[in-house]
A and B are shown apart, each in its own frame.
Chain A
Amino acid sequence: MYTGDEITTILESLQVTHVVWLPDSTLGPWEDALQDSAKLQLVRVCREGEAWPLAAGLFVGGKSPLVMMQTTGFFESGDAMRNIVFDLRLPLFAIIGIRNWLDPHSGDSAKAFAEPIAAAWGLNCDWITSAGDKPKLAEHYRHCRRTQQPGLILLAEGAG
């Protein structure tokens, strides 16, 4: 949906300083553009559970990180997110790639559980399901920063 250059330009305009990520096949093609940015730093983690506390350290240290991962990693890192967002009450923002969301024939359980789990955490989510939704990323990010609350962009994947 986004090219690497598009997403990098948007994140730079939002003054994101670090992208803490573990990519999937939709987010992965953004790597070169994110890596080449002079305005933000790409930080690679080995498992998604590391991403939330690492971003927390950046945030507390005065930076503006953004977490990026796929649905399965979001599930895996639920305890880390819970601790950082609800115990430490840090308003982190993440882009979560929702695997197979756009494939109507997919029986992927990761697709089935994505929305209910995001809702169960009570997180402020906004969906991007088509090219027309692209402006929502910047809008939702700015809203969450302005209101100092955590937020997610749920990025529909699997358009074929």
Chain B
Amino acid sequence: MSGAGASERMSVEQALAHLSQRRRDRDIVVSNQSSARLWPRLSNHPLDFNYNPSTMSGAVPLAVGLALARPHDEVIVLSGDGSLLMSLGCLVTAVASGATNLSILLLDNGMYEVTGGQKTAASDLELDYAGLAAATGFEQISRFSELNAWQRGSDDFFGSRGPRFASLRVGPTPKQEFGDAYLPIDQRIRSFQVALATV
């Protein structure tokens, strides 16, 4: 576990670049909102599902469903703090589902990024999302605010018993990464479905 100073934030690009490097070939990765724009520039894997446009706070429940359906595969979901706040109950749903092959990586940038950077209700609260997850019953809880700590700690995090929750304090996504340069979502989920059926 890594302590997180209030003002420290790592680069979201570097944080996700590390994830793309250490992700195993059979790992399923669900990205969402800002991360769904950035992740395709870092990873082009058939078991990626870039869930955008999504329903609000839908990425974690979708990942829970995948984890239940695919108990022998690991499911990693990237959620923003604004998205998670819209349905904090999904943390309870995730634990109650019994899925142990689930990792939630919260990309906490302290804002609603895709709408222009407005504050969330929690922006001024220093809300301890990992603490919320711990209270919910996640088996593994981690907090990372520095890239080195994330790079050093990720193997232990992913190697631990799930479900897992890590809060990554990150900076904003660079504006040039905000293009949507991929297929319509119904085509993307078909490709993803085919990939799941063939691994």
**Interface set of A (CB-CB < 8 Å, partner B):** 18, 20, 41, 43-47, 49-63, 65, 79-80, 82-84, 87-90
Contact = CB atoms under 8 A, between A and B. Distances in A.
Nearest to B192: A60
A58 B65 CA distance: 4
B66 interface: yes
A89 B69 CA distance: 19
A59 B89 CA distance: 22
B136 to A, nearest CB: 11
Given A47-B87, A61-B65, A53 B193 contact: no
B70 A61 contact: yes
Interface string B33-76: 00000000000000001000111111101111111111000000
Contacts of A83: 53-55, 58
A79 B61 CA distance: 14
Contacts of B49: 60
A80 B196 contact: no
A63 B69 contact: yes
Given A43-B68, A45-B93, A47-B89, A57 B56 contact: no
B167 to A, nearest CB: 20
Given A45-B93, A90-B189, A54 B69 contact: no
B186 A60 contact: no
B58 A53 contact: yes
A149 to B, nearest CB: 14
A38 B66 CA distance: 20
B68 A89 contact: no
Contact of B61 (A53, A60, A87): A53
A59 B197 CA distance: 11
Nearest to A84: B55
A46 B61 CA distance: 10
Contacts of A63: 65, 68-69
A53 B58 CA distance: 6
B69 to A, nearest CB: 3
A85 to B, nearest CB: 10
A120 B7 CA distance: 48
